[in-house]
Amino acid sequence: MMIGRVVGSVVSTQKDERLESLKLLVVQVHDHTNAPTERYVVAVDAVQAGLDDVVLFATGSSARQTRLTNDKPCDAVIMAIVDSWDVDGTNVYEKWA
Amino acid sequence: MMIGRVVGSVVSTQKDERLESLKLLVVQVHDHTNAPTERYVVAVDAVQAGLDDVVLFATGSSARQTRLTNDKPCDAVIMAIVDSWDVDGTNVYEKWA
Amino acid sequence: MMIGRVVGSVVSTQKDERLESLKLLVVQVHDHTNAPTERYVVAVDAVQAGLDDVVLFATGSSARQTRLTNDKPCDAVIMAIVDSWDVDGTNVYEKWA
Amino acid sequence: MMIGRVVGSVVSTQKDERLESLKLLVVQVHDHTNAPTERYVVAVDAVQAGLDDVVLFATGSSARQTRLTNDKPCDAVIMAIVDSWDVDGTNVYEKWA
Amino acid sequence: MMIGRVVGSVVSTQKDERLESLKLLVVQVHDHTNAPTERYVVAVDAVQAGLDDVVLFATGSSARQTRLTNDKPCDAVIMAIVDSWDVDGTNVYEKWA
């Protein structure tokens, strides 16, 4: 899994039938200091994430292992909202700070 | 999933039997400002996308989770045509603009 | 899928039993102008491709979705020989030119 | 598989139900001289790894092939703690040194 | 698949039970001229490869398609020892030379 921040969303009306009613969010990938990188991914939201939330996302076939994404053409899913994470004893992100 | 623009197509007569009748489109990958990158992918079209459409595509085993691509040697599928997407409150693409 | 050119082959006698009789070709990956890149992949040939053919290959679990590669430790397959492809209205490759 | 060092952990209360009770560790990826790179991954711990342990992790669908991660939206798992590894006759890491 | 050279091995006593008795080798990835790159992978050995052997390895779910690695948390497997390979009519590697 990787960590990123929800920075936006994608609207689509003409799409595969199995995608109906799924929320598609744009996640900007963060590096190990919680700083934003140039990379992004569009992920299905499985945890009611909101704009600016720092989240954990899974990619590949693992992205289909939630009730919402099972058997769907979805290769990225947000499966956790991060409260905090630390690296080498330093708190690099704290949601409630 | 990633976002890209349909820039072309691929014609092939000698191919695996399971690929018969699938439309193969060339998608140029876009970055998070909707600007084109140097990367591309050839994807099966599952949503009747046309040239210049901005689309969402899925890769890996998830690309086989549409009725069209099920059990086929296909590792990328266009599964949505993007109407609009926004990043940090800015509309980076609007189909009907 | 990506596009590349068949540039060589790999010979191996000591290999997993499930690989017996599969032809292993070296494919140099092309960019979106059909120019060669520094990247390559070794792929199983499912379409009788020959040296110098421009081909389409699939990777990951999708590479096992041909009759030849089913259930085999193969993560890349050539599943189509390209006749032509075009990008933004320009024909970047034409087999019979 | 790749080798890395456990450098931290991620705390999340709002997450997919299937992730309950899994420990999420931050692993900094090492290169082939055992030196840290800029890359990291968040992985589920399947072997009681601790901070600073050098570990082996698997990604993709293979990350779901442990009793702990089976059928879960997890795309990276720590499946071994490294005692030692050597490259070209040189011991690049020794746990008990 | 990619080609690389076996440059070392990894020793681990505390590991997932399904990994017992598997040999874990360090493979340095080669480029298309058979020259070593900075990339490496740790792979399970399915063909009795030895130090310095030039080998073919598969990654992802395909790495589980050998008798040895079936259903195991293994995302890379050595499935062939290379005797020779050639690129554009040039023999870039010959085992018995």
For C23-43, write each residue's pLDDT tens digit. 999 999 999 999 999 999 999
- C70 burial level (CB within 10 Å; 0-12, 13-18, 19+): exposed
How far out from the chain centre does Cα E21 lie?
17
The answer on pLDDT for A91 being more than 90 is yes
The string of pLDDT tens digits covering residues A49-87 is 999 999 999 999 999 999 999 999 999 999 999 999 999
**pTM (2 decimals)?**
0.95
Contact A14 B87 (CB under 8 A): no
Q: Does residue A97 have a pLDDT over 90? A: no
CB contact under 8 A, A60 and B58: no
The rounded distance, in Å, linking the Cα atoms of D1 and E75 is 6
Q: What is the pLDDT, as a whole number, of residue C33? A: 93
Residue C14 forms part of a structural domain: yes
Name the average pLDDT for chain A: 96
Complex confidence, ipTM:
0.95
What tens digit of pLDDT does each residue of D21-48 get? 999 999 999 999 999 999 999 999 999 9
C39 CB neighbours in chain E (<8 A) are 32
Nearest residue of A to residue B63, measured between CA atoms: A73
Cβ within 8 Å, pair E61-D58: no
Residues across chain E = 97
The number of domains in chain E is 1
Q: Do E14 and D47 touch (CB under 8 A)?
A: yes
- The per-residue pLDDT for C96 is 87
- Report which residue type is found at C75: D
Query: Which residues from A are below 8 Å from D16, CB to CB?
Result: 46-47, 66, 79-80
pLDDT score of D57: 98
Please tell me the number of Cα atoms within 13 Å of A73 on its side-chain side.
Answer: 32
Note which residues in 5-24 of chain D have CB less than 8 A from chain A: 7-16, 18-19, 24
Q: How far is E75 from chain C (nearest CA, A)?
A: 11
Q: What is the CATH number of the domain that holds C13?
A: 2.40.50.220
Report yes or no on A53 lying in a domain.
yes
Dist. CA E20–CA E47, nearest whole Å: 17
- Is A81 part of any domain? yes
Residue D96 maps to a domain: no
Q: Given a cut of 90, is residue C97 above it in pLDDT?
A: no
How far apart (Å, rounded) are the C-alpha atoms in residues E24 and E12?
9
Average pLDDT over residues C7-16: 97
Report CB contact under 8 Å: B3, A61: no
Any domain includes B91:
no
Give the pLDDT of residue B96.
87
Q: What values do phi and psi take at A19, rounded to 5?
A: -90, -5
Shortest CA distance to C88 belongs to which of B40, B44, D4, A23?
B40
CB contact under 8 A, C16 and E80: yes
pLDDT classification of E9: cutoffs 50, 70, 90: very high
What number is the average pLDDT over the span C49-62? 97
The beta-carbon neighbor of D1 closest among E28, E39, E75 is E75
C39 CB-near residues (< 8 Å, 6+ apart): C28, C29, E32
Residue B28 at interface with chain A, using a CB cutoff of 8 Å: no
- Test B18 with C58 for CB contact under 8 angstroms: no
pLDDT tens, residue by residue, A26-49: 999 999 999 999 999 999 999 999
What range defines the domain where residue B62 resides? 2-11+21-86
B74 in reach of chain A (CB within 8 A):
no
E39: contact with C, CB 8 A cutoff:
no
pLDDT of residue A38: 95
Q: Band of the pLDDT at D96, cuts 50, 70, 90?
A: confident
**CA distance, residue C61 to nearest chain B CA (Å):** 6
Among A79-83, C19-23, D1-5, the range scoring the smallest mean pLDDT is C19-23
Q: Are the beta carbons of C41 and E2 separated by less than 8 Å?
A: yes
Distance from CA of E95 to the nearest CA of D (A): 18
Chain D's closest residue to E36, CA to CA, is D32
Does a structural domain hold residue E58? yes
Instruction: Please say if the pLDDT value at position E62 is more than 90.
Output: yes
H, E, C per residue of chain D = CEEEEEEEEEECCCECHHHCCCCEEEEEEECCCCCEEEEEEEEEECCCCCCCCEEEEEEHHHHHCCCCCCCCCCCEEEEEECCEEEECCEEEEECCC
- Please indicate if any CB of chain C lies within 8 Å of the CB of B32: no
Alpha-carbon dihedral sign for residues B58, B62, B67, B69: positive
Whole-Å CA distances, A85 to A45, A80, E91 = 20, 12, 51
pLDDT at B48: 97
Q: Nearest by CB to A79, from D7, D19, D26: name it.
A: D19
Å from C87 to nearest chain B CA? 4
Model pLDDT, residue C76: 97
Q: What percent of chain D has pLDDT over 90?
A: 97
Query: Amino acid identity, residue C59?
Result: T
CB-closest option in E9, E41, E75 to D62:
E75
Mean pLDDT score, B4-17: 97
Work out the pLDDT band at E91, boundaries 50, 70, 90: very high
Q: Indicate whether C95 belongs to any domain.
A: no
| Partner-chain contact B2 A41, CB within 8 Å | yes
Q: Which of D65, C58, C42 lies closest to E79, judged by CA?
A: C42
Residue E92 lies in a domain: no
Q: Would you call A64 helix, strand, or coil by DSSP?
A: helix
CA of D8 vs chain A CAs: smallest distance (Å): 4
Chain D positions in Cβ-Cβ contact with residue A63 (cut-off 8 Å): 73, 75
The percent of residues in chain C predicted with pLDDT above 70, rounded, is 100
**Amino acid of residue D11:** V
**Residues D80, E38: C-beta atoms closer than 8 Å:** no
- In chain A, the N- to C-terminal Cα span, in Å, equals 24
Instruction: Specify the pLDDT at position D94.
Output: 97
pLDDT higher than threshold 90 for residue B97 = no
Question: A47 CB near a chain B CB, below 8 Å?
Answer: no
User: How many angstroms separate the CA atoms of B31 and B26, rounded?
Assistant: 16
Q: What letter does residue A15 receive in the DSSP assignment?
A: B
